[in-house]
Structure 1
Amino acid sequence: MAARTTTALAPSVLDSFRRGEDSGVREVYLAYNGPVFAVAWSVLGDRELAVEAVQDTFVRAWRAAARYDPTQDIAPWLFTIARRVSVDIWRSRRRMPTAELEETSARVAPSKTHVTSAPVWAP
């Protein structure tokens, strides 16, 4: 098994990211978009959704950049955001709109003539 490598960014880049400067955000994105995609892919298993999660992750990270502590490794912080974003996307995709559920129920619901009075399960 290959050793995991992490991207070390210069403290000045992390400070720039924390201040929300374009150059810092760009450097963090270029360094971590691949690993963030891997996190999203592991949760979602779908390329298009993982790409969406990467975009959302970096938007959220950019918005929260002022709260990032540049003395800490940025990777775990980004990966936590990516995992949470991915789970949110996964949950939102699992839900069917109510109208769609009602249509499905109407198609698969048994008619009253097929209902028996026998219990489905008895102890």
Structure 2
Amino acid sequence: MRINIDCECVLLAEALRLFCKDFSCARAECDFIISDRRIKASKPVFIISKDSPHISLPFTKDALFESLQDFYSAIQVPMATIKPKETKDDLESAINELCDKFKADLIAILRQVR
């Protein structure tokens, strides 16, 4: 588990750095980001705030690590089940195939109505 800390609250950021010093790394290398606000990021964001779905303030070190482990496990499941990316051509051909089928079905229905 590699994390990056991006908090506006300096006190919270320093506490997290102390608690998570073994897991802290640069944003480009992290598995997810810990923040005290919603941020736009290409990585999953673990939010710590009063009304957070992940963990709310105040929290203990044990509660933090339990929540972080749960969050990390949850983001690992989708990564493990992702199939190799379909190429753009495969996706376009699948969409075209569905559109052609829909068009044919629609024409058949319209002909029955007449």
Both structures adopt the same fold (TM-score exceeding 0.5): no
| Structure ranking higher on relative contact order (CA contacts 8 Å, 6+ apart) | 1
Instruction: Judging by fraction of residues, say which structure has more helix.
Output: 1
- TM-score interval w.r.t. the shorter chain? 0.3 to 0.5
Instruction: Judging by fraction of residues, say which structure has more strand.
Output: 2
Give the TM-score normalised by structure 2: 0.40
